A and B are shown apart, each in its own frame.
Chain A
Amino acid sequence: MNAGNPLAVSFSGTRNRIAAIAVLTALTLGGNLLGLLLGAPEGLLPLPALPLSIPIILASYWYPRRGLLFSVCLAAAYAVTVLLLSPPDPLLPLTILPRAVFLILIGGVVALLSSRLRESEQQMNQIIEFLPDATFAIDREGRVIAWNRAIEEMTGVKEEAILNRGDHEYAIPFCGERRPLLADRVLQSQGEQPQVLVSENTIPRLRDGKGAHLRSAATALIDANGNVAGAIESIRDVSDQVMMEAALQNASRQLNTLSGILRTDLSNRLAVLYGHLSVGVMKFDDPEILSFIGDLNNAANGIRRQIEISREFRDIGTSPPAWVPVQETVRQAAAGLTFGTVSLEVWTERLEAFADPHLGTVFSHLFENSLAPATGATRIVVTYHLRPEGCAIIVEDDGTGIPDAEKEGLFVQKAEGYGHGLFLAHEILAITGITIRETGTPGEGAKFELLVPSGGYRIV
């Protein structure tokens, strides 16, 4: 990249550069020679070598590999002509030799610095060149200074054809006309704090006219003085992703519609069943029949519960994950349940987890398990534990616990239903990589550990 480099702008052609060096060499060396031949004033002898450093600097800067050789030749020419044409003086070589060495040094140093600069530019160009995203950069005047392989493939425009072209020519492959792109907006916002601008557009011209959905990001290129020297824009074709998301949303919508119809139908039939059971309780007084009706009622309650779970399942993943304050989420989950004499202690005040917004449903199901009368729990405690692998949110009770034989299948979808809602909890947590396991001791209480990965929690 050559952003903000005036030399590169004025003498971009090789022919121009060689001509400039030749002219300056002829002028400075010729002037020197002429002065010697015509007889320069006594005070000026031997003639100064400094003007010769101008072509040396330019040659070494533009052509660092030959810069040293050029400076040696010019210094030698200077020394020979001065030694031959100056009036004889035994001290003359002592005056001329340091000047010649000085010229060689100038050439060497400039060539070295220039080659280092080119190496750095080369590395930067290679980085941009091999970026997987289509990327281009423009200088402050809007000329293209980088155009990588990926953008060549996306637009069909080769780097040679677009490099150093300005006047929004880089917009033509995308928009079919010269117009500002995101990188230009970055340049327009000069003076403000450098920022990354992001946009998404559908470009009908790309993909052989089928259109492409592009996600672009642009930011400023800052020079050593902190000034904006240009802008770089990276463009990603997200058409496949967008299409897939749309297809998934459609499929999800259809499934939700279908399951909604089934839920409504089941609920209606369940209401009829409850009605019959109520009539049955009033109609019969035989204890055996009443017990049978009670069993039917329990079965109907189970079906109602599963309908509720399927309703919750419908919404999972529909909202993007977010940073969720755990304490508040636990409290809200608990507010919908009846704890009776069971105490709840929550010690997660400063903890936030990156989770699906239905995290509260997870706690609801865990609490429901603890609150089941069969567990005999009197206390539920929610804490967290920082570990090398992440943060474990721990929900434990002092009930009967879960037998070892049942632990493995706790979070698996069972043929006969959704268990205690723990499969649902597992699925909600899995969206953001949170794992759940039961580590309690049977007879001492249940203990559920929700392990949030290292990047997925924060203490605020």
Chain B
Amino acid sequence: MVRELRSAEFPLADEVWRDYHGMTGDPGRDRIFAVFLAGRIVSLARCRRHPDGSMEVDGVFTPEACRGRGYARMAVSALVVACHNDDLYMYAVESLAGFYAEFRFISIPERDLPPAIRERYTWAAGNMEGAEVRPMRRRAGL
């Protein structure tokens, strides 16, 4: 089953993300979509609203033991339907660009990212290939 987490459930996601850069959710600006199996979270995807209103997809994570079963696809699929009224942006890991393309994400030049999202990778100084990430955008719509 896939569903959006309620605010009180955000710590459950934080627990799963502990192995993923120690990422945490903020109920004030995040929507988190989780795939549950036997009451346990097996995959996560986050959509963050930045102060300028831009929406960034990140935190797509499936614990090692649960991979290869399509759970991440379920989580991302739920996210893009739930958040389809906005353009969605992301820094996709280079090797997963094809996966995101299935959800109508297309590669864009980094300059086309909203400034609030671009700030996250200022350390890469424009060298996206070196950072092994690719800026992508999904136009609003189902």
On A, residues with C-beta under 8 Å from B are 345, 347, 349-350, 381, 383-386, 392, 394, 396, 398, 459-460
Contact = CB atoms under 8 A, between A and B. Distances in A.
Contacts of B7: 350, 460
B86 A347 contact: no
B53 to A, nearest CB: 8
Contact of B82 (A383, A386, A398): A383
Contact of A345 (B5, B81, B83): B81
B111 interface: no
B78 A347 contact: yes
B84 interface: yes
B4 interface: yes
B77 to A, nearest CB: 10
A349 B142 contact: no
A381 B3 CA distance: 14
B6 interface: yes
Interface residues of B, number: 16
Nearest to A447: B142
B49 interface: yes
B85 A350 contact: no
Contacts of A350: 4, 6-7, 27, 31
Contact of B85 (A345, A349, A385, A459): A385
A394 B83 CA distance: 11
A381 B142 contact: yes
Contacts of A349: 3-6
Interface string B8-32: 0000000000000000000100010
B6 A385 contact: no
Nearest to A392: B85
B87 to A, nearest CB: 12
Given A381-B81, A383-B84, A386-B49, A347 B142 contact: no
Interface of B: 3-7, 27, 31, 49, 78, 81-86, 142
A350 B32 CA distance: 11
Given A347-B4, A386-B49, A459-B27, 14 more contacts: A347-B81, A350-B4, A350-B6, A350-B7, A381-B81, A381-B142, A383-B82, A384-B85, A385-B86, A392-B85, A394-B85, A398-B142, A460-B6, A460-B7
A347 B82 contact: yes
Nearest to B33: A347
Contacts of A385: 85-86
Which residue, of B6, B31, B83, B85, has the highest number of chain A Cβ atoms within 10 A? B85
A454 B4 CA distance: 22
A383 B4 contact: no
A387 to B, nearest CB: 9
A326 to B, nearest CB: 12
A447 to B, nearest CB: 10
A448 to B, nearest CB: 13
A383 B49 CA distance: 16
A311 B27 CA distance: 41
A347 B78 CA distance: 8
Interface centre among A349, A383, A394, A460 (most CB of B within 10 A): A349
A379 to B, nearest CB: 8
Nearest to B142: A381
Contacts of A392: 85
Contacts of B4: 347, 349-350
A381 B80 CA distance: 12
A443 to B, nearest CB: 15
Nearest to A394: B85
Nearest to B85: A385
A383 B142 CA distance: 11
A350 B27 CA distance: 10
A237 B52 CA distance: 47
A396 B142 contact: yes
Contacts of A394: 85
A345 B31 CA distance: 16
